[in-house]
Structure 1
Amino acid sequence: MNSATPQGGYENGYKSCPCFWGDAPGALIKAFLKERSSCEGLSVLDLGCGEGKNAIAFARAGAAVDAVDCSAQGIANGRRAFPHPSINWVVADAEDYLTRSRVYDIVVMYGLLHCLPSQDAITATIDLAIERTANGGRHFVVAFDDGPHDLSAHPGFHPTLLPHNFYLSRYARHHVLRAESAMIHEVHPNNNIPHFHSITRISPRLHRITRSFRLRAAII
């Protein structure tokens, strides 16, 4: 998770139980890696990486990964849990990082966007991430949407909840390979409170012509 200020109870979770998010990659990442024999030569930005469970999955598949999160504790946990020479761990704010980052083949934003403070901030982050993605590259986006939520496990957390169609609209010019709104039920290991969230999952392939960044061959 990532935002200008760590929120949502995750910082306490990172302090109380390393591997707060477990060690298995998210569903979109798992499906993508299952389809490929290797990610050798690909560059990946895991933006809002938390402790890096998606970053390590890509690194083990051969990709070079920049794992970025605003939580120093989350990054420290990730370094200990998932040491790998192909992961570059970075403590930084998401939007600030994107303003100076290089171009990537893949950008992962898993659990990041709803932690940002406003729709404008979410829009700016997605647009910057698109700019920093090679033509033919992929995004993997998972965010809370405006469906039902039980936030009892997250005291003091006020996520920015936007409609599923908002996220689809940000990728209207691209090829959306998978898009769904679903409900998940979970229990965090730091408090053991059962709760649920409505989430959006989107996996687009980016198609654009740009003068700012060199074109790259489609990776899929």
Structure 2
Amino acid sequence: MKQQLARNISTYRKERGLTQEELAQILGLSFQAVSKWENAQTMPDISLLPELSRTLQVSIDKLMGYVSQQKPITIYEEEYKTEDYYWGTEPNSACYEVLRKIPPTRRLRLLDIGCGEGKDAVFFARNGYEVTAFDVTDAGVEKTKRLADQVGVHVHAFKADLLDYRLDTPFDILYSSGVLHYMKPEFRDEIFANYKQFTNEGGAHVFNVFIQKPFIAPPPEKEPNAHKWYSGELLAHYRDWLILDSSEIVFDCNSSGIPHQHAMSKIMARKVSAQGR
């Protein structure tokens, strides 16, 4: 909990545009005290939490690492509450690429970041991967568990916000499809560094992101918490990894009932030890 609280204080302080000195001044403390919190050397006194919460404009639960959303993060919060699966139950084509290039010939731990209703996570579990998955929506997590139960596999699914959640145990494969546009640009370096640190040698990341192209009209869905990615930006995070695939596609979509197009950048990259390079 200490590490999670340290990260969250630093994250939300920066979101508010405050320096350590400015936060300390508001709280009537020395900046060294704030520095020690953010380095996980000490924790704030419990009596300071209400003022810290108000100053950082975040609930105490969320500050402590518990997901407690006062407002939806994604427009799909309500869509997932229906009995039907909004995205269907057929896996993304990238799942087959993972199965082909990184088959579970041994125990492989896979994390699905932003699993939605669980179709990809369940596919991986059915094919022999040890799957952990999280999503920011309660309904998505419950439907992931339900789908896993229906096909007789186990997926360790839980609720988390990718802006807050950090890895503290290693995985062999990190996978995410259609989710990373919720990642704010100012936190991408830190989040990707965490993902890479907690990936086993020989492991891989399989991600895609929606990218901005001048010849593609904005999508009809209004995503208030979406953030832009650009061509080459995702690839730049993997300059020190072996690139197995890096491509861009344009595809048709009808998810909102209005035909439109998306441009997407994809990457599959493997972590190779210095000796193996």
Q: With the length of structure 1 as denominator, give the TM-score of the two structures.
A: 0.82
Match of 1:214 in 2: none
Equivalent residue number for residue 270 of structure 2: 205
Give the partner amino acid of 1:82.
Answer: A
Give the C-alpha shift of residue 85 in structure 1: 4.0
Distance change >3 Å, CA 149–CA 66, structure 1 → 2:
farther
Give the Cα–Cα distance (whole angstroms) in 1 for the partners of residues 266 and 169 of structure 2.
25
Ranges in structure 2 where 5+ consecutive residues have no aligned partner: 1-68
Selected match of 2:208 from 142, 146, 155: 142
Matched with 1:97 is: 165
1:183 aligned onto 2:250: yes
CA drift of 1:114 comes to 0.5
Check conservation: 1:51, 1:78, Cα contact below 8 A: yes
Which stretches in structure 1 are left out of the alignment for 5+ residues?
Answer: 210-216
Change (3 A) 1:180 1:155: same
Offset at residue 175 of structure 1 (A): 0.6
Q: Distance in 2 between matches of 1:23 and 1:39?
A: 25
In the alignment, which residue of structure 2 is the partner of 1:72? 138
Post-superposition offset of 1:138: 0.7
Shift of 1:184: 1.7
In the aligned structure 2, how far is the partner of 1:8 from the partner of 1:37?
Answer: 32
Query: Matches of 2:228 and 2:88 in 1, distance apart?
Result: 24
Whether the 8 Å CA contact 2:148–2:154 is kept in 1: the answer is: no
Aligned to 2:240: 173
Question: Is the contact made by 2:204 and 2:268 (CA closer than 8 Å) also made in structure 1?
Answer: yes
3-state SS of paired residue (2:165): helix
Q: Shift of the alpha carbon at 1:49?
A: 0.9
Considering fraction of residues, name the structure with more strand.
Answer: 1
CA distance in 2, matches of 1:185, 1:202: 20
Report whether the alignment pairs 1:11 with 2:77: yes
- Give identity over the alignment, percent: 25
- Give me the whole-angstrom Cα distance separating, in 2, the residues matched to 1:90 and 1:138: 22
Asked if the contact 1:40–1:62 (Cα under 8 Å) also holds between the matched residues in 2, the reply is: no
Between Structure 1 and Structure 2, whose CA radius of gyration is higher?
2
What SS is found at the alignment partner of 1:201? Answer: strand
Q: State the Cα distance separating 1:146 from its structure 2 match.
A: 1.8
Quote the offset at 1:67 in angstroms: 0.8
Moved more, 193-202 or 38-47: 38-47
Q: Aligned AA for 1:193?
A: I
**CA 1:69–1:17: 2 relative to 1, 3 Å:** same
The answer on whether the counterparts of 1:171 and 1:204 sit within 8 Å (CA) in structure 2 is yes
Does the 8 Å CA contact 1:95/1:124 hold for their aligned counterparts?
no
| 2:113 matched residue in structure 1 | 47
**Structure 1's 126 and 109: CA in aligned 2 closer, same or farther, altered over 3 A?**
farther
Task: Give the Cα–Cα distance (whole angstroms) in 2 for the partners of residues 23 and 49 of structure 1.
Answer: 12
**The residue matched to 2:218 in structure 1 has which SS?**
coil
Question: TM-score, normalising length from structure 2?
Answer: 0.66
Alpha-carbon distance change, 151 to 37 in structure 1, aligned in 2, over 3 angstroms: closer
- Report the aligned-residue RMSD: 2.3
Relative contact order, higher structure (CA 8 A, sep 6+):
1
Give the number of aligned pairs.
Answer: 202
Q: Identify the residue that residue 212 of structure 1 maps to in structure 2.
A: none
Deviation at 1:36, TM superposition (A): 6.0
Deviation digits for residues 152-201 of structure 1, max 9, x if unmatched? 1x13445211212111110010011101111121112xx42222211111
